[in-house]
Structure 1
Amino acid sequence: MKQDKHGRSARSTAFAGGLALLLAAGASQAACKVNIGVLLALTGSMAEIGQDNLRSAQLAIKGVNAAGGVGGCTVDPIVYDSQTEPTVAVNQAKALVDLKGVRVIFGSNSSGTTIAELRSVTAPAKVLLVSPSAASTSFTKLAKEGYTKGLFYRGVMSVGGEGPVVAYVARHMAGWKHVAIVYVNNAFGVTYAKETIKAFEAMGGKARLIPYNSDQPDYQSIVTDALKDKPEALVLLAHPKGGQAILRDWLQSGGPQHVLLADSVATQQFVDKSGGKLLDGGWSIKDAAVKSPWYELYRKNFMAAYKRTPHIPYDTNSYDAMAITLLAMDKAGTQDARKIFAAAREITAPGGLVVHPTPAGFKAALEAIAKGKKIHYVGVTGALRINEYGDVSNPVVVGRIKDGKLDYYKTLGVDEVDSIVKHHKL
């Protein structure tokens, strides 16, 4: 079959038609475009996260386009705002599917908005939904029930898996025996907290759960409740906005400096706004393999594009989730959601040509796919694995706070993370 300069066969034109691509009459193959819906929280309570997740996803799109695109066509994202509201997310998803004809939607950020669009729009329409950061175990449950199997995957580990890892860091790495677990009272936080306390107690520790609502006018009552049985440390499973107030109140009320910051609050920006050097000796845990050349290249490209370093939670997850999705679309060569899902699982499974998110890596990946060869994508967050339910296993980075700076401490690799989850998830 005839190939172009990127090693692509003539399947590009057929692929374009099958995905409802914007291919103008008489246009050359190089001029074709493939749409992907992007539905993230650009306003609302998670706007700061959503905006930077979009920036990271756009870097991945730029990298794949420079290497030859999807099916030989330029990826053209259609970006909509969920406003961090489930009803808005549903309406925007409907517009992307019904009016724009997209067959793949990237987003949204929060579990609440993502599950709303999954149930109401994408699953019924057999459209693939990929979230960079929705971590609720509800998605696993829906997949196991057969409702969304093959129609959804994510770029972040489920809290059902991450809870035991948080417990492991608190109990075995920090050495704490008695902690207060303060968590945001939503689909993300409730399950996260339950999985964390079950594992922590199974490891011989003592803990108590204290929920908070993100729209509370004051958090002092939460802190007073958390301190009443004199825990030696605070495990914070929160979103940045409420989490900052809680941590400041914790320190001002005489709470111990021993803290563990998880996920969206495990950033330098959060440390700066919540206590700085007062948090020295604290721990953090998040998804990202920061000690890798691919991460350093990502940081460099982010700085060049946006004039600052990335510092928002799930940026790296967003980058890798988009890169995996685009490579999977290319491999599947079809608009069928379940075939794209299967392709994503295959390219994140060990074996075959290892490719990284670099100009040469993306080019090698697309050329190998065109030749029918197996590839293994190892990205900014390291080696990810997507299982049959759309859940992800990924490396986890443990950090320490010293002199007010959140520094790298250790990476727990995929095998180590899987082992912790296997032995401590109840």
Structure 2
Amino acid sequence: MKTLLTVAAFAAGVSALSTGAQAQDCTTKIGATLPTSVDWGRPIAEVAQFAVDQVNEAGGAGGCQIEMVLRDTQVDPKVGVDAAKALVDLEGVNVLLGAVSSGVSMPILSSVTVPGGVMQMSCCSSSTAFTKLSEEGKTDGLWFRTFATTAVQSAMGAKVAADKGYGSVAILYKNDDWGQDMARLIAADFAAAGIKVTSSVAVNDGQPSYRAEVTKALGGEPEALYLALYPNEGTSAVREWLSLGGTQNMILANSLKSDEFRDNVGLQYLGNALGTDTASPRVASADAFKAAYVEKFGSEPNGPGLANSFDAAMIALLAMEAVGKDASGKDIAAAVAKVTDPDGTPVTADVAGFKKASETLAGGGTVKYQGATGDVRFDANGDVSAPAVVWKFTDSGVDEVEYLSLGEVDAFIASLKK
């Protein structure tokens, strides 16, 4: 991979020299609001920068080199909004990558990017509230996400419970847009699968103790616990749960796919825990991303949202390439369809693929992007579908327990509605 990228970079340099080095004469900024102050957030930002680096090796986007200006959201809505405002008002970005948490992405969308006419591309926000907002015409076509909605994770949580034979489940969920959406969906899916929900308890950030919430969740003597939390409050809640005699039968949302959570709780207490997540399809482009990631970072991409972050950045940059320098956020958003066209010219998610896309777009053609999560297709609301995976913690990270294709995911979701 290093050799390939080096050769591609050299080729890009030769091309730039022959055309007057147009891409080197200007720089275009894009913004990123991502939670770099938490351990699972830093790799998401690093992968976005990796995509930017490859595009710059290919000559940049829209005739300019790309600078990704990164701001930490701290998984806090107010901090995230302030960061986004600074990027839009002070840095002048027309593209914003982020955020991760739906509870941060939503206020950024409603108070910053839509009013400012900025395209927002999230790697990881999954709340179905965004779908509703788009259906109501309140996103102005500026919202996209490369992560499937909470409906997929919710259904997979119900499948895990059914497969394990759990008759009753308690729910602990983060008290924000994402957590509330997850709690609503998972309760309905558990019920559809014939599993009793003994309680559904909201958990707020930053509390010194979660004993009251955990005690309430234990009240119905559930056979298992479903957790839609982030690592900080998840760690505290699980410690309380176990100290009060709660079961080790746990089902985890992808937000807890974190070494920090595993280490702070203790692997010995997570032997019966199973997590769910969306997954990359079993296709060559996903394998190529994994190989490139290993080459770049020295380990496999085990954290949440990494493939999705790469695709979010790369698709946004392809759309910028399609419309050229100084395009508006609305123009860039409209061009997303040109670079994710099922009938377009297939391009890979690397330096060579971006150069091929540039040539195709310059000739009036469209592009079929094949990336880390496969052939990305957005619907009218900026949503995508995805396969799913069930995982468990190990000493070195996570292992896959079960993979479900997109067809299998759709079939199980349909079975819950019968």
**Alignment correspondent of 1:37:** 31
**Displacement of 1:61:** 0.9
Whether 2:177 is the aligned partner of 1:187: answer yes
Q: Does 1:210 align with 2:212?
A: no
- Structure 2: where are the runs of 5+ without partners? 1-10
Q: Is 1:374 aligned to 2:366, yes or no?
A: yes
Task: Kindly indicate whether the alpha-carbon contact (under 8 Å) linking 1:393 and 1:418 is maintained by their aligned counterparts in 2.
Answer: no
Change (3 A) 1:356 1:399: farther
Distance (Å, rounded) in 2 between the aligned partners of 1:253 and 1:348: 50
Q: Which amino acid aligns with 1:129?
A: Q
Report the CA distance between 1:276 and its aligned residue. Answer: 1.0
1:297/1:27 CA distance change after superposition, 3 Å: closer
- Which digits, 9 at most, give the CA deviation of each residue in 1:364-403, with x for residues without a partner? 3333333333332232233433211122212222224568
Question: What is the aligned counterpart of 1:61 among 52, 56, 71?
Answer: 52
- Structure-2 residue corresponding to 1:221: 212
Separation in 2 of the partners of 1:70 and 1:28?
Answer: 11
Deviation, 1:51, is 2.3
Distance 2:212 2:43 in 1: 32
Are positions 1:396 and 2:388 aligned together?
yes
Q: Residues 310-349 of structure 1: matches in 2 within 5 Å?
A: 310-333=301-324, 335-349=327-341
Q: Which amino acid aligns with 2:182?
A: Y
Considering only aligned residues, what root-mean-square deviation do their CA atoms show, in Å? 3.1
Which residue in 1 is equivalent to 2:225?
234
Q: Among residues 392, 412, 417, which one is paired with 2:404 in the alignment?
A: 412
TM-score calculated relative to the size of structure 2? 0.84
Task: Compute the displacement of 1:199 (Å).
Answer: 1.5
Name the CA shift for 1:316/1:405 in 2 (closer, same or farther; >3 Å): closer
Shift of 1:145: 1.4
Match of 1:357 in 2: 349
* CA deviation after TM superposition for structure 1 residue 174, in Å: 3.1
* 2:109 corresponds to 1:115: no
Structure 1: distance between partners of 2:342 and 2:164: 32
SS in 1 for 2:49: helix
TM-score (structure 1 length as normaliser)? 0.83
d(CA) in 1 for partners of 2:83 and 2:393? 40
Q: What residue ranges of structure 1 are gaps of 5+ in the alignment?
A: 14-25
Distance 2:142 2:356 in 1: 27
Give the Cα–Cα distance (whole angstroms) in 1 for the partners of residues 74 and 146 of structure 2.
21
Cα-to-partner distance string for 1:253-292 (whole Å, 9 max, x where unaligned): 3333322111110245533332314322432111232866
User: Secondary structure in 1 aligned to 2:39?
Assistant: helix
Number of residue pairs aligned between Structure 1 and Structure 2: 402
Shift of 1:212: 1.4
Q: Which stretch shifts more, 403-412 or 390-399?
A: 403-412
Counterparts of 2:21 and 2:399, CA distance in 1: 51
Report sequence identity in percent.
37
Identify the residue that residue 19 of structure 1 maps to in structure 2: none
SS class of match (1:408): strand
Q: Aligned pair in 2 of structure 1 residues 378, 187: CA closer, same or farther (>3 Å)?
A: same
Cα distance in 1 for partners of 2:287, 2:53 equals 17
Q: CA deviation at 1:41?
A: 2.7
1:276 alignment partner, one of 267, 270, 273: 267
Q: Report if the CA contact (8 A) 2:258-2:303 is conserved.
A: yes
Q: Contact 1:268/1:311 (CA < 8 Å) preserved in 2?
A: no
CA change 1:116–1:266 in 2 (3 A) is same
Which residue in 2 is equivalent to 1:165? 156
Structure 1 residues 307 and 365 mapped into 2: Cα distance closer, same or farther (>3 Å)?
Answer: same
Contact kept? 2:231, 2:260, Cα under 8 Å: no
Structure 2 SS opposite 1:385: coil
Q: Deviations over 1:295-331 (max 9, x none)?
A: 5554554455455554432222211111111112222
AA at the equivalent of 1:382: G
CA distance in structure 2 between the partners assigned to 1:419 and 1:331 by the alignment = 36
AA at the equivalent of 2:31: G
Instruction: Return closer, same or farther for 1:277/1:414 CA change in 2, 3 Å cut-off.
Output: same
